A and B are shown apart, each in its own frame.
Chain A
Amino acid sequence: MTAPSPLAAPFPDRPMAAPAGSVALLGAGFPDLRIRAEAETGAIVAVGQVVFRDARHPSIAFVSPIHGRVAAIEHGPRRVLSAFIIEPVAGQQVAAPVRSGDSVRAQMLDRGLWPALVARPFGGPPDPEASPDAIVVLAAPTSPTAPDPATVLAKVLADRADDFDVGLIALTELTEGPVHLCVGKQWPRAVQDHPRLRVHRRRFGRRWQAKAAQVARAVGRGGASGRVWTIGYQDVAALGHLLRTGACDPLRTIAVSRPGGAQPETLRVPLGSSLGPLFGPVTGSPARLRSTTGPSSERRWSLFLGRHDVEASLVPDLGPPPTGAPLRPLIPFNALDRPLPFGVPTVPLMRALTTGDRDACARLGCLSLLPEDVAHLTDLCASGTDYGRRLAEILGQLRKDLST
């Protein structure tokens, strides 16, 4: 395993070769994902080869981002997938067998791009049979440390200019509603005309546009009472690449922040890359790796990049939260006044989540939100409640209520 060579400039003029570390397809971000493996431990898999399928919806395939050997399949409680780990092997890369329908939907399902979609409400990949009320393409900058989507498209994906446009238009086949493209003011490209394609431009100052805020801006506050799917801009480019060339593009541009580092470094790595090689040997005070989708997103300790993550950082380990301590009160200081996206009142939602009041959460509009949208509240609250996890539990219960 070799460490990736860091790029000299924040943005390379051409995509750099993927670092040869192991990768993992994580269960995190996919609520209750149980799998039907198509490659057993020890099997050699090629890039784009189907390694497992969602047991509930077997048409949703997950593909390998690298050419390698299946190292381990780890399960969490109740056989939910924890991590499907693939380690790289040297040698000739075998082309993945292509077997897929013609429609955009069939291609996304069979070639491993369906998990790029996130359904609201409840999160996770959407039902393969369903058709959303709207699709939102997230291409606005989400944080000061994440790579700027406009720059990534202009520089990193420069030689694949058409991929993004093809992917964008292809998304209109998944829905009869509009496809929204959320971009910053610096967006470098003209967007193709399409009757159902709507572009939302916004200048970004110090307030970065969290994903939920982008969705709320695109579909309006009431939008999430319907079915809205979201997809990242890099996945749209990968979709276009797949449709144009038939080849799987497993590389994503991410930012790596090191402690004390002046500027985050931009790397192009396979999905689910192991974070260890990105940082090299770590010395000094105890620190843990984490990867995030944005500043206001879930802060998971992780050894691998999550499916939708665009940032990885090494942060000081403050130790585990105190367990067994009595619940501490929530301090409603002024920073918590600002409502969450979709106009969800912050402190009332925090209280409802803390007490596990499902009905109150639903009334406050928690169905519009995903766990990653409220995870930052944990850092703002003295009570020690893990709001992301609480919302995931509440959403799971509400989903069960709806299905019965």
Chain B
Amino acid sequence: MTLAQVIRRNGVLFVATTQGIAALPPLAVLLLDGGTTVSVVLAAALVVALGWDYLFAALRHRTIIPTGLTTAVIFTLFAPADMPLWHLVVVVSLGCVIGELVFGGRGFAFLSPATVALALLLLSLPDATLRAPSAAMALACLPGAALLLGTGLLSLRVAAGFALALGVAVGVTDAAGAVPVLIACSAALVFLVCDPTTGAVTPLGRIAHGVLAGGLVWVFSLGAPGTPGAPGPDALVFAALLGSLFAPLLDHIAITIAARRRRPRHG
């Protein structure tokens, strides 16, 4: 069975499963590091996200597609380990419901629920600081990135546009300067910025989407504390959110450009 046939048959379930598998290695690294506190966050996020999935599926008389699984896992990758549980319940609920389920579920929404939940966490709870990925976690993202690339769910155009824009903006000149930036961006780039269902969909739009997100990361990390040059996770979350928000506009511009090129010509 070809990849296209698998995707055709399983739809969003395939997307959620692949994304979930891709997120397993960094999650394992996190669990080894954080132990119980991370497990509690993960368990609570899973219960909340899957609970909303089940509730909406029941109310709509549809079969349940457990896309909340990836929402919870990706949320856990960034969530502060010491966050109060009621904060978690509120932001994950809002992320799942207003970010995804009110639009009809994964694939119909224009924002990734994990990104929405993290952005809400940062906006409504100013004291919260997201987890910056460690070098081990960044390395653990690589197999997942390869899997998503291989299945066509991670757009190389978005990733390349992002890396190019951020590299130019931060002023990366050599490999030594690129490593901390790459580590800081790793998980956010793979799981938030390059979300398969909420990005731009035209080739040109995808490059513009990546460039916009990369540029915004630089803008948002201006003046932020931390390693100079390496963007913080909150800058990455907001850049991913705005990138997805502007993706339809970028597509529209790309389509207009394509339509301009289609001029009558015979001969």
Contacts and interface: CB of A to CB of B under 8 A. Distances in A.
Interface of A: 133-134, 177-178, 198, 219-223, 225-226, 326, 328-339, 342-345, 347-348, 363-365, 368, 379-383
24 contacts: A177-B267, A220-B267, A221-B261, A222-B264, A226-B266, A326-B60, A329-B104, A329-B106, A329-B107, A330-B107, A332-B197, A333-B196, A334-B154, A336-B201, A337-B155, A337-B157, A342-B262, A345-B201, A365-B259, A379-B5, A380-B7, A380-B8, A382-B9, A382-B11
B266 A220 contact: yes
Contact of B14 (A226, A331, A334, A336): A331
Nearest to B256: A363
B9 to A, nearest CB: 8
Given A220-B266, A329-B105, A343-B261, A364 B255 contact: yes
Contacts of B8: 379-382
A333 B151 contact: yes
A197 to B, nearest CB: 12
Contacts of A219: 265-267
B258 A345 contact: yes
Nearest to B157: A337
B264 A225 contact: yes
B37 interface: no
Interface of B: 3-5, 7-12, 14-15, 60, 62, 104-108, 151-157, 196-197, 199, 201-203, 206, 251, 254-255, 258-259, 261-267
B267 to A, nearest CB: 6
A342 B264 CA distance: 11
Contacts of A381: 8
Contact of A333 (B106, B152, B251, B261): B152
B266 A382 contact: no
B262 A329 contact: no
Given A331-B153, A364-B255, 10 more contacts: A134-B266, A221-B263, A329-B106, A331-B196, A333-B153, A336-B201, A337-B202, A337-B206, A379-B5, A379-B8
A100 B12 CA distance: 59
Contacts of B108: 329
Contacts of B14: 331, 382
Contacts of B11: 328-329, 331, 382-383
Contacts of A339: 202-203, 258
Contacts of A380: 4, 7-8
A335 B155 CA distance: 10
A133 B265 CA distance: 10
Contacts of B15: 331
B250 to A, nearest CB: 12
B12 A329 contact: yes
Contacts of A221: 261-263, 265
A331 B201 contact: no
A376 B223 CA distance: 51
The 8 closest A-B pairs by CB, nearest first: A329-B107, A382-B11, A334-B152, A347-B201, A333-B152, A220-B265, A222-B263, A222-B264
Contacts of B259: 363-365
Contact of B262 (A178, A222, A348): A222
A363 B62 CA distance: 35
A253 B14 CA distance: 41
Contacts of B262: 221-222, 225, 342-343, 365, 368
A330 B15 CA distance: 11
Nearest to A198: B267
Nearest to A178: B267
A368 B265 CA distance: 13
B266 A331 contact: no
B12 to A, nearest CB: 6
Contacts of B258: 339, 343-345, 365
A334 B156 contact: yes
A222 B265 contact: yes
B247 to A, nearest CB: 10
A25 B199 CA distance: 46
A332 B158 CA distance: 13
A329 B198 CA distance: 12
Contacts of A326: 60, 62
Given A333-B152, A337-B155, A382 B267 contact: no
A390 B162 CA distance: 36
Contacts of A198: 267
